[in-house]
Structure 1
């Protein structure tokens, strides 16, 4: 057994379908990624509690009793030395519910049916993101610098949370144009170092896929965003703010923060 394979598993797979768990765990093992598995959210919570070395959770959204959304909510409330990065799995019938997972800081989502290779790519991206975050924390030299460094993503998170509150308080559908939601999600993704794909952006917008794709084209034509192939997975297309889009979002964030007396420099 290789040294890598002998390490404690850092990945937890959660799905109520045992066949999917077996197929996926065996497929990942053949790619050098050893995982733990749980067929219920309750078992997943227990495993996370007992195994501090776990870093990434790959969970289905639709499960009995405690579903994937509630599982991520419960995990987000637990204080761990090393927070988990979440990857959510969904079928076409539950795409609308993936929006909630993205709001809970899921780093990626995948649609069934799944190939072990695409799950492995998502896990590698999640681990790389966690490593980058740990490096940034290690480089901090005091509480003052930490406050400045985290102010911008925290403010953007507040804007995302405000959008969710707006949708909960007001009648659904009153704010139907997804363009602003997309720009906000892209700004948040860049601030936290999280790549976002075309598919993820469409889902996060909360609009029908055809509408979201049209708005992506509109924003691209306006010079505010661009699409590029994912260098780690050529089947995946990433969406990025252009320099002009970044400049305008920066101007908006700065103006709103100054009105509230918040320093995000």
Structure 2
């Protein structure tokens, strides 16, 4: 099945995203959002059909799959997907309206890049897909470089990989422990800004405050503290004067870079 509104390139042997969902309305919403971002898509209504398409040679960078599907659920689908050869295996992002902690852990163990909740926020979905595309490129580069005896990952790529690991641990931590035990948002804000800066995305003060998990007044006070320490800076949005853009300052970016470089240079035990 090919959902209405799919990019004209959908019939090509290589696409950006394969959407798998048993709900037609959800497929149309996901495909429309991805197509507007210039991503080529194809859609199917169940995991078996998706596996068949991939086995027949459809090249897809990313699979965006519902977690709850009849016959073959998302985790079972991902488990079968993990058996594909490295070069043919797409990255996977799950979407779900009612995922539990066990589902999230199982998904991460099977290599899922992200878990998004329904109704899916369009910009967040696009960011997740583009981040997964970069991860796939890094994986392919790692395979090629490993064969050629080159350095496996460039510094910026290693930092992104470490950031993804930290985010996965953060999601697991939030599921296991009461949120109030980790209520100060400063470090989480720095990580979110670092992630956005690596992806070339802009973050507004309002969106950073909303994502912090604390009341907006508390988030604003923490932003003031971070700015006093010259770790972040605010700027006016050139396209919308009502919005204030927030980003890591030069010294803040350098500090977070140094943190990741230090973590990655520690010997493994």
| TM-score computed with the length of structure 2 as normaliser | 0.56
Instruction: Give the aligned CA root-mean-square deviation in angstroms.
Output: 5.6
Partner of 1:8: 13
**Using CA pairs below 8 Å that are at least 6 residues apart, which structure has the higher relative contact order?**
1
Mapped to 1, the partners of 2:159 and 2:186 lie a distance apart of 21
Q: Which moved more, 1:246-255 or 1:162-171?
A: 162-171
Listed one character per residue, the Cα deviations across residues 48-101 of structure 1 (whole Å, up to 9, x for unaligned) are 44444112323445656766577567656754315535566566x88x99x988
Task: Give secondary structure in 2 for the equivalent of 1:181.
Answer: helix
CA contact (8 A) 1:60 1:88 kept: yes
CA contact (8 A) 2:193 2:248 kept: yes
CA contact (8 A) 1:58 1:86 kept: yes
CA contact (8 A) 1:196 1:239 kept: yes
Identify which of 58, 61, 76 aligns with 2:64: 58
Partner of 1:242: 249
CA contact (8 A) 2:159 2:261 kept: no
Mapped to 1, the partners of 2:92 and 2:226 lie a distance apart of 29
Please state if 1:145 is matched with 2:132. no
CA contact (8 A) 1:85 1:126 kept: no
CA contact (8 A) 1:195 1:238 kept: no
Partner of 1:175: 182
Identify which of 106, 113, 127 aligns with 1:105: 113
Mapped to 2, the partners of 1:238 and 1:84 lie a distance apart of 34
CA contact (8 A) 1:227 1:238 kept: yes
Structure 1 residues 65 and 126: alpha-carbon distance in aligned structure 2, compared to 1, 3 A threshold: same
Mapped to 2, the partners of 1:64 and 1:19 lie a distance apart of 16
> How is 1:1-265 mapped onto 2 (pairs within 5 angstroms)?
4=9, 7-8=12-13, 10=15, 11-22=17-28, 35-60=41-66, 63=69, 75=81, 79-86=85-92, 104-106=112-114, 112=119, 125=130, 129=134, 133=138, 140=145, 142-146=148-152, 149=155, 151-164=158-171, 166-167=173-174, 170-188=177-195, 193=199, 195=201, 207=213, 210=216, 214=220, 217-218=223-224, 221-222=227-228, 223-225=230-232, 240-257=247-264, 260-261=266-267
Listed one character per residue, the Cα deviations across residues 170-213 of structure 1 (whole Å, up to 9, x for unaligned) are 5554222233123234445656x4747569867875x2685896
CA displacement at 1:44 relative to structure 2: 3.6
CA contact (8 A) 2:233 2:248 kept: yes
Mapped to 2, the partners of 1:188 and 1:220 lie a distance apart of 17
Structure 2: gaps spanning 5 or more residues: 1-6
Structure 1 residues 174 and 160: alpha-carbon distance in aligned structure 2, compared to 1, 3 A threshold: same
Structure 1 residues 36 and 139: alpha-carbon distance in aligned structure 2, compared to 1, 3 A threshold: closer
